[in-house]
Amino acid sequence: MTPGPSATADTNRDRILAAAMRLLAEGGREAVSTRAVSAAAGVQAPTLYRLFGDKQGLLDAVAAHGFATYLSSKVALAPSADPVEDLRAGWDLHVGFGLANPALYSLMYGDPRPGASSPAARAAIEVLAGHVRRIAEAGRLRVDEQRAAHLVHAAGGGTALALLAMPEDRRDLGLSVLAREAVITAITTDTPAVAEPGPAGAAVALRAALPQTSALTANERALLAEWLDRIAARAR
């Protein structure tokens, strides 16, 4: 049976992406020209342009493919009983992926464009947010979840790029450990903020501290107290 147009397009797309990934790994971003990729994939240039638009579209597709590869390895990590240790493992996986795939990582993270991110990139951030959420649920997060996730993302990416900029024979991998532990110290605590993790423990802890707040009116405090009492009772 002769493959249909869609199957042929998928095959060409896969061949072009594979060729671009290979050229990127061997020669960096400059090696990924539309002419070189077309020749390596065995397709005509118009086919590449039809599928990817232009060189930037091709590079975006390569970056998206890289994110998907990274994401599949990140999701494969089974959660442990300690969410902070899982965050450490995620950090090490991220930096390790960057060092093992320098050209791809630089393409993925070294040229950010505000407002432009692939679905795979957004999914990777969601995985990180999930790690942070588990730490928050355990009562061990010092700052709000969004700030914690942004800090881990920025520090982890900056660390990997800084290591990639060093000559490989002089690369100090201990910097990643120091940066990782500094970030973890900044956003987590060894002592849970609540004695009993989960909605009930959080509600009880906040209910106890409610009289100390001056941010709410008396009526607002009374309403919040009622809600917290209901959460604590329902969750038990």
Q: What is the pLDDT of residues 95-116, one digit of tens each?
A: 999 999 999 888 888 777 676 6
Cβ burial, residue 92 (10 Å; 0-12/13-18/19+): middle
pLDDT band at 2 (very low <50, low <70, confident <90, very high): very low
Would you give the DSSP letter of residue 4?
A: P
Instruction: Tell which residue, 192, 207, 206, 81, has the closest CA to residue 138.
Output: 192
State if pTM tops 0.85: no
pLDDT of residue 195: 61
Look at residue 180 and tell me whether its pLDDT is greater than 90.
yes
Buried b (16+ CB within 10 A) or exposed e, 109-143: bbeeeeeebbebbeebeeebbebbbbbbbbbbbee
Question: Number of C-alpha atoms within 13 angstroms, CB side, residue 201?
Answer: 12
How far, in Å, are 60, 71, 102, 133, 179 from residue 146 at the CA level?
A: 26, 20, 28, 9, 19
Q: Give tens-digit pLDDT for 38-56.
A: 999 999 999 999 999 998 8
Instruction: Tell which residue, 87, 84, 108, has the closest CA to residue 97.
Output: 108
